[in-house]
Chain A
Amino acid sequence: MKPAPFEYVVARSVEETLAGLAEHADDVKVLAGGQSLIPAMNFRLAQPAVLVDVNGVDELDFVRVEGGELRIGAVTRQRTVERSEEVRRLAPLLHEAIPSIAHPQIRNRGTVGGSLVHADPSAELPSVMVALGARMRIRGPAGERWVAADDFFVGLLETAVGSDELLLEVAVPEAAAGAGHAFLELQRRHGDYAMAGVAAAVALDGSGRCAGARIALLSVGDGPVLAAGAAGVLTGETPSAELFAAAARAAAHDDIDPPGDIQASAPYRRHLVEVLVRRALTLAFQRADASGARA
């Protein structure tokens, strides 16, 4: 279990990174936290010819508030986000989800951008970003662009970031008044990839009806799955246990076509999604109530 040889390029800036990617376009990978890439290399499942190490690109290591948005640099360690007061305050869903990512030793190295670009369907951050309606800033030879989370994840382990491009940062809109959230997942063991999980961001309007809901599911598809059917059931309705159950049924039966693996069969996953969505909505709307009361 030793990695195959590769050429190692250290980048100190976004420009150096892009230059490195351009120069070695044939078979190059960005090395961020490496907590998924290096195991794959140790198993020799990944054998990139060149690694461009972005751990020293300090300009992408930040958490800040800008224009009513929370901005997180792509090479920010997950542990930094976990401890960030701004994140706790402005994106409580993200704050709640982060401890579910593996273990502290992994989060000490793992980066936000690395997890998003790796786009593992079981990973927490992609679903959270979809639920939060985040946007991603990408730069490449052709310049910069913003991509909405819904368009960022395009397939299994595949994102809108081209092989010659770099994810710079993610922008998360500040949680609005009347908003509620919940992150729930079921893992075999603490820190494992989830058998199923849900990131829910909901909002109540002034009359106590659901103003909108974004429910993103993990471990049930090629990437994060936005449960649009479930959201449709909720929107405009008054929260109730029956409503949550109906939305959960929609999520489990209309919104997903889950795969099976050795930890969870497809029917079991579907069942878990129904349970988790119901529980997550109950919690999220309770919190939405509570935040409304505080306001």
Chain B
Amino acid sequence: MIVSVNINGVDRSADVEPRLLLSDFIRHHVELTGTHVGCEHGVCGACTVLVDGRAVRSCLMFAVQADSCEVTTVEGLAGEGGEADLHPLQEAFREKHGLQCGFCTPGMLMTLVPFLEENPSPTEREVREAISGNLCRCTGYENIVRAVMHRVEQGLTGEARAHG
């Protein structure tokens, strides 16, 4: 069946089987491969994207369920300038070495962006709980938490950006 999804501001349509996972649609049909797949049973969080502004596991939705929805993936976070125009949270991850292999990173970012919008000044404990559904094997989470707290401390600097 035909599915039409607006991904990062661009309308994408395809004729897909109902069983096609949203994660596979994003990665292999639209070829936005920044969204990663780590478990396909909703535990690791690597495939987290925003559907209509809410963070969800894209491996636990069928692409057809996203019909007429707005989806934001990690590719939609940075500004027009791409790597030179990082989202403040991406900047913070870079500043604090919040990523190593980079595989879990897109899911971390897409979980944290709406979290920080809702809770702009969280405690460290709240940050840890917010990402407790995102597994990382490289960082021990320490520098991810430091990156978020760094971003929080910068507060206004971040909000001034287009994507804050």
Contacts and interface: CB of A to CB of B under 8 A. Distances in A.
Interface of A: 1-8, 31, 34-35, 38-39, 41-43, 51, 53, 55, 79, 102-106, 108-109, 189-191
Contacts of B115: 104
Contact of B41 (A6, A31, A43): A43
B19 A191 contact: no
Contact of B61 (A5, A8, A102, A109): A109
Given A2-B19, A7-B18, A53 B133 contact: no
A41 B65 CA distance: 15
A189 B132 contact: yes
Interface in B98-147: 111, 115, 129-130, 132-133
Interface of B: 1, 17-19, 21, 24, 40-42, 45, 48, 54-57, 59-62, 64-65, 111, 115, 129-130, 132-133
A106 B58 CA distance: 11
Given A102-B133, A191-B132, A5 B17 contact: yes
Contacts of B19: 2-6, 41
28 contacts: A1-B40, A2-B40, A3-B19, A3-B21, A4-B19, A5-B17, A5-B19, A34-B61, A34-B65, A35-B42, A38-B61, A39-B40, A39-B60, A41-B19, A42-B40, A53-B65, A79-B54, A103-B45, A104-B55, A104-B115, A104-B133, A105-B56, A105-B57, A106-B42, A106-B60, A108-B54, A109-B56, A109-B57
A80 B65 CA distance: 19
A140 B86 CA distance: 53
Contacts of A103: 45, 132-133
A55 B17 CA distance: 18
Contacts of A53: 65
Nearest to B50: A108
B4 to A, nearest CB: 14
A42 B41 contact: yes
Nearest to B67: A10
Nearest to A38: B60
Contacts of A38: 42, 59-62
A6 B18 contact: yes
Nearest to B54: A108
